[in-house]
Amino acid sequence: MELMMGDTAPEKLSPRAVALRAIRDRDGNVMAHVDRLAGVSELRSADRGLAMELAAGVIKRRSTLTAILRPLLRRPKKRLPAIVSDIMQLGLYQILFLDRVPDHAAVNETVKLAHKTSQSRHVGLINGVLRSALRLYPDPIEGAPPLSAEIIPKGPNAFYASPRAIFPDPASDPAGYLAGAYSLPLELAERWIGEFKGLAPAAKIAMHANCRAPMTVRPNTLKTDTATLLRLFTGAEISADPHANGLSIVVHDRVEALAGEMFAEGLFQPQDATATAACLAAAPKPGMRVLDTCAAPGTKTTHLAELMKNSGEIVALDVPQKLELINTNCRRMGISIVDTVPASQLGSLDPESFDVVLADVPCSNTGVLARRPEARWRFDEKVLSGLVDDQRFLAIAAAAFVKPGGRLVYSTCSLEDEEGSRIAAYLSRKNDTFSVVSENLAIPAGASDPVQWRDGGYCAVFER
């Protein structure tokens, strides 16, 4: 079976084969690829969850896994086929970072995967490397990972100790160390050390980016409430806990919940606590007229509609191919006040005619790297500069539709100052009819406790 032939599986794939094909899709959306392949292969929910965890984990930890593998190879400078390196990283991720897979299963299943992908001649190498890793790193050590070239951070409270330096020295090369030990592009590592005033705080945020993000959901208040939804999850034997914000719920059985009747009936919508806070900051009221300028897939659109008690009007803009995502979510959740409009028709709307305008703009996603694993590898200063140009345009365009006394909410999933407070300052300079009501940069938190989890992001609220 050749894993790179086409976009659909020629035969049903195992969870590990699904993960391998997805991580080899260097230019695509890895998690969307997992979803497609899991559907074609008819994976049951537990296997679908395993495929998602493996794909996301290997992409997140790519630089770290590469550094760990290097000393395990007899000839580290010899160029191996890319698929062999990917298979070894998949096996090593299971051994070091995934508790749910026993070590012997991780080795045996990785060897089987090599056979099934026509890499039998490399099976001895793959088997030897993984067994060497088992001998070198038998058990993680409990505690916060020290900042050391010999330390492999597993999580916020666990690490492995290597007999030799694996990463650059954090004292002489802090950015190189952060890029390797916490798997970031060097440009982002350098930036975060400067932005967050040192290696230790930057490492804490980078650790959050490498954790498995929990699924946080908000109850659809048009149909239920937090307490009732928690009881329904319990009755359906879906593990869930109330989130620390008092509004949301952390669902531990992600795949089961999304495949169940409660989701199909529109009783809840996945939404992180930081995104929830941005909608609350908009403070829409029943009967208002609201504009959501970058609306797909409709997560914030539907939340705004709930806050308005499905009374008033919401105009949701996006590119035509994404509008049906918004419509589907609205139908599922019983929302009838949303009118989807192609973004190209923005100019047909009346200026200064909306009580609330939301500009949740495309960004670098550096605050949500735990959820969007491949986004870190797309980051560089040139990409950031292009995003900032777009964000300035979108903020100014959105502001034109706010009526006097109305509110503009500008938000991103980014931690970068250029995409946050500098855009707010730019808007204030360009349009002195707006004043800042509130401004907040949410730093990612909750890596050790899912009920405290929040993504990173920026939100500014202006009043005209």
Residue-wise pLDDT for 335-377, tens only, equals: 999 999 999 999 999 999 999 999 999 999 999 999 999 999 9
Strands lying side by side in the sheet with 402-412:
338-342, 313-318, 289-292, 354-360, 402-412, 457-463, 435-442
> pLDDT band for position 79 (50/70/90)?
confident
- How many distinct structural domains can be found in the chain? 4
- Domain around 405: 271-463
Average pLDDT of the segment spanning 111-124: 91
Q: Is the pLDDT of residue 3 over 90?
A: no
3 domain residue, yes or no: no
Pair (58, 150) in one structural domain: no
Confidence of residue 8 (pLDDT cuts 50, 70, 90): very low
Query: For 402, which DSSP code?
Result: E
Position 80 confidence tier, pLDDT thresholds 50, 70, 90: confident
Residues 230 and 281 in one domain: no
Q: For the domain that residue 416 is a member of, what is the CATH number?
A: 3.40.50.150
Going by their DSSP bridges, the two strands 158-161 and 240-242 should be labelled as: unpaired
Whether 304 and 439 share a structural domain: yes
Q: What is the pLDDT of residue 31?
A: 83
Question: Is residue 339 domain-shared with residue 200, that is, in the same domain?
Answer: no
**For residues 194 and 178, is the Cβ–Cβ distance under 8 A?**
no
Short-list 257, 440, 221, 427, CA closest to 335 = 221
Quote the pLDDT of residue 9. 41
60-69, 111-120, 239-248, 399-408: range with lowest mean pLDDT: 111-120
Q: How confident is the model at residue 256 (pLDDT cuts 50, 70, 90)?
A: confident
Q: Confirm whether pTM is higher than 0.75.
A: yes
CATH number at residue 225: 3.30.70.1170
Tell me the per-residue pLDDT of 207-222, one tens digit each, with 9 for 90 and over: 999 999 999 999 999 9
pLDDT of 2 higher than 70: no
End residue of a domain, out of 109, 136, 163: 136
153 and 104 in a common domain = no
Residues 399, 333 within the same domain: yes
Examine the pLDDT at 78 and tell me if it is beyond 90: no
Regarding whether 192 and 92 lie in a shared domain, the answer is: no
Specify the range with the lowest mean pLDDT, choosing from 9-23, 98-112, 291-305: 9-23
Are 182 and 245 found together in one domain? no
Q: How far apart are the first and last CA of the chain?
A: 61
Residue 173 has a pLDDT of 98
| CA 80 to chain CA mean position, Å | 30
- Tell whether the model's pLDDT for residue 317 goes beyond 90: yes
Q: Are residues 356 and 399 both part of a single domain?
A: yes
Tell me the three state secondary structure of residue 440. Answer: strand
Condensed to tens digits (0 to 9), the pLDDT of residues 433-442 reads 999 999 999 9
CA dihedral 308, 295, 250, 44 (to 10 degrees): 130
Contacts for 267 with CB less than 8 Å, ≥ 6 apart: 219, 220, 223, 224, 229, 232
| pLDDT class of 143 with cuts at 50, 70, 90 | very high
In this structure, are 159 and 83 located in the same domain? no
Among 253, 270, 287, the domain boundary falls at 270
| pLDDT attached to residue 27 | 63
How confident is the model at residue 12, as a pLDDT? 83
Same-domain status, 154 and 303:
no
Residue 22: give its domain's CATH number.
Answer: 1.10.940.10
Q: Is residue 10 part of a domain?
A: no
The pair of structure tokens assigned to 423 is 């855009």
How do residues 166-198 score in pLDDT, each as one tens digit? Answer: 999 999 999 999 999 999 999 999 999 999 999
> Are 445 and 302 in the same domain?
yes
For position 426, what pLDDT does the model report?
Answer: 97
Calculated CA dihedral for residues 137, 253, 183, 457, nearest 10 degrees = -150
Q: Is residue 8 domain-resident?
A: no
Residue 106: its pLDDT value, please? 93
Per-residue pLDDT, averaged over 431-454, amounts to: 96
Mean pLDDT (the chain, rounded):
94
Q: How many CB atoms lie within 10 A of CB 306?
A: 21
Q: How confident is the model at residue 228 (pLDDT cuts 50, 70, 90)?
A: very high
Domain end among 223, 252, 270: 270
Q: What is the mean pLDDT of residues 67-75?
A: 91
Question: For residue 35, is pLDDT > 60?
Answer: yes
- Residue 26: what pLDDT? 64
Residue 147 lies in a domain: yes
